[in-house]
Structure 1
Amino acid sequence: MIKHLTEFIHGLVNNKKVLILGYGREGRSTLPVVIEAGGAAVIAVADAKPVKDGLPEGVTAITGEEYLGCLNDFDVVFKSPGIVLDREINDYTCNIVSQMEVFFECFRDRIIGITGTKGKSTTTTLLYHVLKSSGKDVLLAGNIGIPVFEIADGMNDTTTAVLELSCHQLEYMDVSPHMAIYLNLHEEHLDHYGTMAKYTAAKENIYRHQKAGDKLYCLDSLRPHETLPADVYTFRCGACSGADYSLSGGTIYYKDEDNGECEYRIPVGDIKLIGEHNYFDIAFVYAACRDCGVTDEQFTRALLSYEPLPHRLQYVGTINGIKWYDDSISTIDETTIQALNTLKDADTVLIGGMDRGISYKELEQYLAHSDIKNIILMEASGKRILEEIELMKGEFESPERIHYVQHLEDAVSLAADITGAGRSCVMSPAAASYGIFRNFEERGEVFKKLVSGMEKNA
């Protein structure tokens, strides 16, 4: 099926000057496909960083701080999602496309796309795992870390591609997947989008261009106001919620055309995913799998064998009598609240990171009346939260619970001293890691090393 893709790209680039914008993993996977497609008059790559690896003969490199200034020198630009354009896309004379958009043009009828502010990776990998375990012909790619061109050769007439889709991948898309899962929406990435409306618009591209016969699974509050040609299935917490699927007490309730009122009980005591937010993600996966022909028995078997991704409320271990949890994936207040609601024995929470200017009012109100004994704030966002809590004055119960330290190392050291034996400490930052760590994964690994180091030094 790679032939179908290369033929499409040939038609796109034939006799055109082509630029690969961004030479990370996606750009490196785009270049050989463009070369194989043939027909391009000129091919170049552009990146802020020097291109260390040798490029194929005839391919030139444009690097340095001014690399974005060359786009209009080309006819077709393959943009990597991590690249932020310095003007509106319609202000360019070149045709700016993406690897994801091209893949959708070729295979959209066999794509299940998943987006949402939080829960994308868990939902995507769980959906892939269930379908694969149930004998389906399925491939995994997207924002999970696998460029879609890397799976194109495996696409055949029966293959389903399960793709995690970020807002950056969806931002300029004018084609939507056959099956779209829209999990949730929270204030995020405002440093890039500027307004919540622009961020929301990017996310909504997951369904905006769907066709008759397509399916959209979405949070009830995110149901599109306009009438869509796609079939829409809504989700809400609480039994008898009025949504198509509802979750209550670990049970998924829904209506079946043949059997009427139905339910599926998640084996919560036997799976490694914990927390109501994860059970809600399972409800989305369950609905999509039902429409893909997966039986309840197959679903349960796959659910029991699923291994959760790291840094998502991951149990690190019990060291010096304290249970440590790594929730480095948390970059907004809602996910920190979810973590604390899940860990009923949490004594201490570590909060803070890069300050992107998002609101922390919901988290501050939650902490004000919570029974968390130790609230350790750190870095720039932690400092802002501290200042905002101080303005709450008498509204914040037992303000002596609050501690501020500079960095994660200081926070872990303090947590080890003040967390009660037999209780839990969770790092759930409610903030991005950029400028301090390369990404949330590195932050989580550093946290685990700091915790493990205490055992060695005990």
Structure 2
Amino acid sequence: MPDRSKFAWLVAQSVLVDGLSDDAEGLADFLVQTARKVSILVSDQHEPDSSRIAKLIAAGATLVDRQKGKEPDFGDAETMFVDLFTSPRSALVEEARTRNLTLSSLAEVIVKSQPDRTIGVTGSAGKTTTTYLISAVLRAAGLSARASTDDRFTPSGPGHAMLASLPSLDDDTWRVVELTSHHLEYVSTSPHITVVTNLFADHQDWHGSFEAYRDAKKRLLSFQVSNDVAVLNYDDPIVRSDFAPIVKGHTVFYSMTDISDADVFVANGAIMVRSAHGASELCAVGDLLMPRHHISNALAAAAAGIAAGASLENIASALRAFAGLPQRGQIVGNVGSVAIHDDTIALNPKKAFSGLEAFAFDDVVVVSGGAMVSPGGEQRVSSDLEKADLQLYCRELSRKAKAVVLYGDGGEVIRKMLENDEQKRLTVEVATGFETALAQAVSQANPSGRVLVAPVFYNRPADLKQIIERAVQPPS
């Protein structure tokens, strides 16, 4: 049973839960123990697990049918908990706003349960890695921590498992939470320590514009007060110009260069920490096992760890032990002598570009493509800003890759862009699907070469290890 004193804002409320996803059901189960009344908005297209629904109904929840083309029945709901995959521009959310319902989310329940002991991380890239690293830093320092990455790396952010663990957490436990723009759209509480890794064009179709996407991210800082801490990436011009001015508490900058405004930075091959007593070396960059493009995330984690009370020695120990997370550039296996690098989290051009930067010239064959619309209905790479980033990615492909194998509608978009490459030095192949593309890429690679899987567009989650195992097994 949750400690109702920590959820006083819910006790007298009638609430509406959007949908029947695993997270929505977990949220409903939590709310029936805290809120006055819980209703669940059910689409007529859903086929729910009858045993789980029966359990919720037995606990007091009410199901409300949401029929296509008809106005939803909000009943006497005062707050609606929006599903992670429901767009803020959807008819449901717009109607809820018209009726002056408070909009909230599963993530806000977690943050609001203990904001003074919460670290929130957002950004267009690096959120998951930074969240994981912060929890590792805290634990190395002997501090109790519960992180959203303890349960999952995708989908991003906290889910029903972290929510269900709240009653077992004591008041000294740090909650380390990855918060996407989808979460932040509905928050009204800021964590004590916030981290912003970067900002670039993403989810334009979801939010309607880059400005709306940026403003959702800025809500992470909007409710902080004078004793709170904001850890910001000085190297990102938008973070520096748009986020830093709204900080109400203490700003901590980190940078990959020795800029005087940075509190955590890189100089002479080492991560340094600046304080009133001068600069101290945290650890040598060469001691780190993580991929190069994660060093900035390590700086963010170090800064957050310092703000939470971790020692430099403990922080350095945690950073040295980290080798990277799945789906973020790690070698996931080999087909023959060809190493397969899994960067399947790269579902936009900027992330794919960042992963490709780690490779030497002519050293890699790349697999890219996928679907232009995700299952939730979001159009991928839809804005002019995202298309400009895709052009940069295509230039980097032409500069860095030995060959590229493309698949799906997204692959066709990339193929057309690559046609404009005046040098045309890059070998371009088209495959009928993802697994076929991977096989063709392996055949294009040099002996003991490398294949990088970076979809750019939406790619159905794939277990590359299983695909590789099938590829190396001899035909029966």
Q: CA deviation at 1:217?
A: 0.9
- Residues 67-105 of structure 1 deviation map (CA, whole Å, 9 limit, x = unaligned): 983253332322222223325353234333223333433
Indicate yes or no: 2:340 matched with 1:333. no
CA contact (8 A) 2:258 2:267 kept: yes
- Residues 250-273 of structure 1 deviation map (CA, whole Å, 9 limit, x = unaligned): 522342112x123322454553x2
Distance 2:339 2:318 in 1: 28
Read off the aligned partner of 1:262 and give its amino acid letter: S
Distance 2:401 2:114 in 1: 49
Indicate yes or no: 2:33 matched with 1:19. no
Read off the aligned partner of 2:5 and give its amino acid letter: H
Q: CA deviation at 1:279?
A: 0.9
3-state DSSP of counterpart to 2:138: helix
Structure 2 residue aligned with 1:407: 433
Q: CA deviation at 1:43?
A: 3.4
Distance 1:49 1:64 in 2: 10
- Residues 145-178 of structure 1 deviation map (CA, whole Å, 9 limit, x = unaligned): 5335323213333121111111111012222111
CA contact (8 A) 1:104 1:177 kept: yes
Distance 2:62 2:269 in 1: 56
Structure 1 residue aligned with 2:153: none
Structure 1 residue aligned with 2:144: 137
Distance 1:306 1:324, change over 3 A: same
Alignment of 1:221-370 (within 5 A): 221=237, 222-223=239-240, 224=243, 226-240=245-259, 242-247=261-266, 251-258=270-277, 260-266=278-284, 268-269=286-287, 271=289, 273-275=290-292, 277-306=293-322, 308-344=324-360, 346-355=363-372, 356=380, 357=382, 358-359=386-387, 360-368=390-398, 370=399
Counterpart selection for 2:61 from 56, 59, 62? 59
Distance 1:383 1:202 in 2: 31
- Residues 338-387 of structure 1 deviation map (CA, whole Å, 9 limit, x = unaligned): 2222233732011111221231111122223x142112222111111111
Distance 1:306 1:457 in 2: 35
Distance 2:443 2:231 in 1: 46
Structure 2 residue aligned with 1:108: 115
Q: CA deviation at 1:229?
A: 1.6
Distance 1:361 1:68 in 2: 42
Alignment of 1:122-133 (within 5 A): 122-133=129-140
Indicate yes or no: 2:76 matched with 1:49. no
- Residues 191-223 of structure 1 deviation map (CA, whole Å, 9 limit, x = unaligned): 211211111111111112211011111122202
Read off the aligned partner of 2:446 and give its amino acid letter: G
Structure 2 residue aligned with 1:451: 468
CA contact (8 A) 1:330 1:336 kept: yes
Structure 1 stretch displaced more, 190-199 or 219-228: 219-228
Distance 2:268 2:328 in 1: 21
Structure 1 stretch displaced more, 354-363 or 336-345: 336-345
Distance 1:101 1:347, change over 3 A: closer
Distance 1:312 1:393, change over 3 A: closer
CA contact (8 A) 1:346 1:424 kept: yes
Structure 1 residue aligned with 2:4: 3
CA contact (8 A) 1:51 1:63 kept: no
CA contact (8 A) 2:407 2:432 kept: yes
- Residues 304-347 of structure 1 deviation map (CA, whole Å, 9 limit, x = unaligned): 44463211112122332211111101112222222222233732
* Matched residues, number: 437
Indicate yes or no: 2:75 matched with 1:73. yes
Q: CA deviation at 1:282?
A: 0.4
Read off the aligned partner of 2:4 and give its amino acid letter: K
Read off the aligned partner of 1:398 and give its amino acid letter: R
Read off the aligned partner of 1:79 and give its amino acid letter: V
Distance 1:252 1:317, change over 3 A: same
CA contact (8 A) 2:225 2:249 kept: yes
What stretches of structure 2 of length at least 5 have no aligned partner?
A: 150-155, 373-379
What stretches of structure 1 of length at least 5 have no aligned partner?
A: none
3-state DSSP of counterpart to 2:458: coil
3-state DSSP of counterpart to 1:403: strand
Distance 1:107 1:262 in 2: 32
Distance 2:84 2:225 in 1: 25
CA contact (8 A) 1:176 1:208 kept: yes
Distance 1:251 1:45, change over 3 A: same
Distance 1:154 1:404 in 2: 52
Distance 2:35 2:98 in 1: 28
- Residues 408-447 of structure 1 deviation map (CA, whole Å, 9 limit, x = unaligned): 12211211211100111110122222xxx2xxxx22x1x3
Read off the aligned partner of 1:423 and give its amino acid letter: G
Structure 2 residue aligned with 1:213: 227
CA contact (8 A) 2:30 2:164 kept: no
Distance 1:250 1:67 in 2: 60
Distance 1:104 1:377, change over 3 A: same
Q: CA deviation at 1:239?
A: 3.0
Distance 2:18 2:332 in 1: 39
Identity of aligned residues (%): 21
- Residues 387-422 of structure 1 deviation map (CA, whole Å, 9 limit, x = unaligned): 1222x252x4414x2222231122112112111001
CA contact (8 A) 1:247 1:280 kept: no
Counterpart selection for 2:444 from 388, 412, 418? 418
CA contact (8 A) 1:19 1:43 kept: yes
Structure 2 residue aligned with 1:373: 402
Distance 1:270 1:37 in 2: 45
Structure 1 residue aligned with 2:189: 175
CA contact (8 A) 1:181 1:217 kept: yes
Distance 1:101 1:371 in 2: 42
Indicate yes or no: 2:87 matched with 1:90. no
Structure 1 stretch displaced more, 316-325 or 243-252: 243-252
Distance 1:59 1:34, change over 3 A: same
Structure 1 residue aligned with 2:127: 120
TM-score, L = length of structure 2: 0.84
TM-score, L = length of structure 1: 0.87
